[in-house]
Structure 1
Amino acid sequence: MRDSGGQGGHGGHGPLDRGLPRTRRRDVLQRHQLLQIRGRSVTWLVPLTVLVAITFADFHTTGEFRIVSWCVFVSAIASALCGVWTTALFAVLALAVYVASGAVWPTGYQEDPADFVLVLVGGALSVLASSVRVRGELRMLHMMDIAETTRRTVLRPLPPGWGGLDHAAVYLAADADARVGGDFYDIQPGPHGTRVLLGDVQGKGLGAVEAAAALLGTFREAAYHEADLATVAGRLETRMRRHRLHTVALGRDDGDRFATAVLMGFPVGDRGVAEVVGFGHEPPLVVGAAGVRPLPCGDGLPLGLADLAGAGGTPSALRVKIAAGETLLLVTDGVTEARDSAGVFYPLAEEVAAAVRRDARAAEPARLVALVRDGTLRHCGGRLADDTTIFAVRRTGPAAAQGASGAGSASGTVPDRGDRGPVRGRSQV
């Protein structure tokens, strides 16, 4: 994004930017400047350099060449890089240089009325263009703020060690500008243990985001209050159906929407066991010093489709053994369906197993998520066909310690890939 010029061009842009205070608009635009020195805008140097170059060239050429009329380009360049008032300043400077050239330069050239009008009108149009451009940038920044707020509403930050779990997550949006899609995940500690949910809503767009938000809201309440994980699973199934009925009643074509998911529970007092319910999702991988193995999670139908299996359609919870130090890796189909140029799927289990054999520390959640993220992007050449979530959890301490305090849940933060951190991809670890 281009600079606003740091001048007064941030005010009076109409209703589009009234929601942003003047200082907020200036700070936001300041962060998106092309040229900066010690955090301050220097984009004005570009039109200034052009103006100086035109002046120098005009002084060393004959008047017949009329190079000074090129001053019209100065304000045009400023309109593409600077704020409104900075552009207006360069429009005035360009006109002044043009007028002065006829009286000062020893070339004998006198300004032509047609060229004078060209520089004058060009400057006025450049100021108008700069105003339109700045308004468009403010509109885009406002939409980015909305997208960021939506992202944090659906996927809120997870505190370190939340629910007695060491965790790490990466979210890679297939749409670089969307920042959030139908993938969702969360950790909810409670008096009955810590529950983990990861899922993928069928479809894209705001409809998928709404469904993900509805499921997460139900999960955060049911996972805290319900003692039986199967009851939590049933609540999720009911919530998906209710959400579909509501959207259909609004006249939207969401009657066949569903979601695949994996629901896990870490019971209080039984550190060697985990409970898992699968809703048609890719089974989690158990990663540890002993190698990599898929975690059995049953063959339940996706959320919203349990009625296809009859009255007992909601799957039951399976109890599986998890050794100390083993990490559970949960991914969405953006990983498992990533293909290279030859159409070969990403070999997730094989690559993770090879990394663990080389270095047992690769099973740590943060390292594991970074490994899978980099491997997925490398395999598909950075061209993601679907939203991609990589989530890893490992039990570290008493799960009930935080849950019993009654604290609410929060889900993982997924900032944009442009914000590089220890492990980021449109994501954060």
Structure 2
Amino acid sequence: MRGRVLRPADGRYRQPPGRPAPGGPAGREDVRYRQPLLRVRGRSVAWAPPLLLLAGITVVDYNTTGEFRIISWIVLVPGIAATICGVWGTAAFAVLSVAAYVLVDTSWPHQYQTGLPDFILVTVGGVLATLACAVRVRGQRRMLHMRDVADTTRRTVLRPLPPGWGGLDHAAVYLAADTEARVGGDFYDVQPGPHGTRVLVGDVQGKGLGAVEAAAALLGAFREAGYHEADLTTVAARLEVRMVRHRAHTAALGRADGDRFATAVLLGFPEVPPDAVDVLLFGHEPPLVVGPDGVRHLPAGDGLPLGLGEFAPGPPTPRRVRLGAGETLLLVTDGVTEARDRDGLFYPLTDEVARALAADPRLADPRRLVAFVRDGTLRHCGGRLADDTTVFAVRRV
């Protein structure tokens, strides 16, 4: 499916099996990873198709009449090996092909031999296949290195969150619309501190590396202000200032993304009372409260998106909301709310969650909830995501 870069439902990063660690050197492990489908019980079987083709051509040619010679088809063997094997494996099949050609062709009477022209064809074909394989492997190593860089960038912007971080049970799923970038303008983080735990979820306007830079700037400001500032309104003000400063910097560089802004939800979980959460909305979709009593929307906020605060009459005011036992806050970006099916209909998030919750009250668990919304969104849009998508669920431990 297009645009499926997933963070597991428990919010933790796991290394894919058989994959070299991101940021590590591109070496033999990179080559092993190039064909994960040609593995049986963890062992590579990429050698099997060209070997079977070599044996098949040899046997068929040896058991046909002299007028029907197909031994020159053996030039296909190193060509097939070049697409799925390593350089040394391809070279080995090139040598085997030449040896098999000579052995089979000389076994026939002189009048039936294909002779020197086909020998040259098989030899040159093996050499070219080996060179082509070397070029392919080099390109794959470069691609894997760039993917490692993208993965490192993603983990820097969206850092892995430990289970129970800040006294919160949380889960997150991130799907990037740009499969090459593997990271976009959606962002989230949890920051515990002496004044309680703060949560930030948001979406930078636009796409591309400019959106990633803005998201990284906001997360950096949040991780500092969310820890040090006692007042949630002050944290919001620091985020607004950081967005304005970031835009001024990009404008000074002459870039065209100087009008970028970000919608966001800022949550504060104070230590007392233990059933309260303070909510600040910056032009973002209000969170859903999912719990034993059903699904409800939190009130819409009065804040403008971050970066547009100069147009607001004043700073946004946080609203304190009481959460019952077992209630979970569900926050999504517009990749979920604006996902369309073939008929152009939006994904009915609230109705889908309410229906599933009535059938299974355990859906309020953050891991189950984000997995359900992720699967429902992808199913609704047929896997064709038009925007970066984040699903984040959180509740007190």
Q: TM exceeds 0.5?
A: yes
1:156 aligns with 2:159: yes
Q: Is the 8 Å Cα contact of residues 296 and 320 (structure 1) preserved in structure 2?
A: no
2:203 aligned with 1:200, yes or no? yes
Other-structure match for 2:128: 125
**Partner residue in 2 for 1:221:** 224
Q: Secondary structure at the match of 2:207?
A: coil
2:172 alignment partner in structure 1: 169
Residue of structure 2 equivalent to 1:286: 289
TM-score normalised by L of structure 2: 0.91
Could you say which residue in structure 2 is the equivalent of 1:399?
none
Q: CA offsets, 1:137-195, max 9 Å, x none?
A: 11111111011101100011111111111111111122233321110001111000110
Tell me the alpha carbon deviations over residues 338-386 of structure 1, each in whole angstroms, 9 at most, x when there is no partner.
1111111111111111222222211111111111111111211221111
Tell me if 1:31 matches 2:33.
Answer: yes
Amino acid across the alignment from 1:28: D
Percent sequence identity over aligned pairs: 70
Unaligned 5+ segments in structure 2 are: 1-22
Cα distance in 2, alignment partners of residues 37 and 390 from structure 1: 35
Distance 2:111 2:48 in 1: 30
CA distance in 2, matches of 1:275, 1:179: 32
Aligned to 2:11: none
More deviation, 65-74/152-161: 65-74
Q: Deviations over 1:237-281 (max 9, x none)?
A: 000011111111112111111100000101122112211111100
1:50 paired residue number: 53
Match of 2:268? 265
Distance 1:278 1:143 in 2: 36
Q: Secondary structure at the match of 2:295?
A: strand
SS in 2 for 1:64: coil
Alignment RMSD: 1.6
C-alpha distance in structure 2 between counterparts of 1:191 and 1:78, whole Å: 60
For 1:73-120, what per-residue CA distance to the aligned partner results, in whole angstroms no more than 9, with x for missing partners? 111111111111111111111111212223224685223222121111
1:265, 1:283 → 2: CA distance?
15
Give the Cα–Cα distance (whole angstroms) in 2 for the partners of residues 190 and 277 of structure 1.
18
- The AA in structure 1 aligned to 2:368 is R
Q: Are the aligned partners of 2:170 and 2:394 in contact in 1 as well (CA < 8 Å)?
A: yes
368-377 or 233-242, larger mean C-alpha shift:
368-377
Determine if the alignment matches structure 1 residue 243 to structure 2 residue 246: yes
Runs of 4+ more than 3 Å apart: 105-108
Q: 1:334 to 1:135 in 2, by over 3 A?
A: same
Unaligned runs of 5+ in 1: 1-18, 397-429
On the 8 A contact 1:54/1:70 being kept in 2, the answer is: yes
**Is the 2:34–2:140 contact (alpha carbons within 8 Å) kept by the matching residues of 1?**
no
Secondary structure of 1:220's aligned partner? helix
2:374 equivalent in structure 1: 373
| Aligned residue pairs, count | 374
Work out which of the residue numbers 63, 88, 95 in structure 2 matches 1:85: 88
